[in-house]
Amino acid sequence: MNGLSEFEAGFLIITFLFMVGSMFGWTLELFFRRFISTKNPSRKWINPGFLVGPCLPLYGFGLIVLFLMSLLPYVGQDMNGITASRVAWAIIAMGVLMTVLEYIAGLIFIKGMKIKLWDYSDEWGNLQGIICPKFSVIWTVLAAAYYFFVQPYVIILVKWFADNIAFSFVVGFFYGILVIDFCYSMNVVGKIRRFAVENDVVVKYETLKQEIRLETDMIRKRGRFILAFNPERNLKSVMEESLEKIGFVKAPHKERKEHKA
């Protein structure tokens, strides 16, 4: 990137990768939930994640991690020095880091927002319903697929971006919308958190979203895809009526109190 320092160029590339990963991940999750997920038996289009727009930050950070970690086998080596073991360890490290990233993101929302964005409680060996061996293996397989099949195209994309720095305007536009989206979504999350604290529960976010979608369908209103948390009635009223139905889970400290009793 002509005229830019290495730090500035690196920063722009990271922001670009975050945008690409967030939007691609949102698209991937959208179709997964529509056609594959067993937790959407009605096969409705459901906007994934806690943001309104087509962005899943977890995947944005994930693409950055995969991109950087996939370069490890080449550090201090020429092409002849890249061994299968170096590649294997890099892929395993990618799977581990993706699992750690998933756990941190899930824990932040559970502890800070009283919201469970996803739930692996039914999976064997799960840790607080946030991560489990099954999905750690899936992350590792995806990391391998990324390394062998996707990384070359990502490098080409990064090189294109470096040669077309004017595209930074689009990246900046994306982040401007992201900030507005984040503020709006956090306002909704704040309402849900207050309800969760009052009722001493952790809210299953996707289940609540599906319940609101079903309600809009029942009253013959077009189901909201973008503004999923803007039901015809007051959001708190919907949550109060659906407290047991949509499978809210008890907050960890409440479970400990009952266990001691």
Q: What is the pLDDT of residues 168-219, one digit of tens each?
A: 999 999 999 999 999 999 998 998 899 888 888 888 888 888 777 776 666 5
The reply to whether 76 falls in a domain is yes
The reply to whether 200 falls in a domain is no
The reply to whether 198 falls in a domain is no
The reply to whether 21 falls in a domain is yes
The reply to whether 20 falls in a domain is yes
Q: Residue 69: CB partners within 8 Å, gap ≥ 6?
A: 90, 93, 94, 97, 143
CA separation, residue 165 to residues 8, 20, 67, 160, 253 (Å) = 12, 15, 20, 9, 51
Domain count, the chain: 1
Q: Which domain holds residue 82?
A: 6-184
Per DSSP, the three-state class of 43 is coil
The reply to whether 199 falls in a domain is no
Smallest Cα–Cα separation from 120: which of 110, 133, 129? 129
The reply to whether 240 falls in a domain is no
Q: Which residue has the tokens 């319940």?
A: 211
Query: For the whole model, what pTM was predicted?
Result: 0.84
The reply to whether 218 falls in a domain is no
Kindly report the average pLDDT of the chain as a whole number.
84
Band of pLDDT at residue 257, cut at 50, 70 and 90 = very low
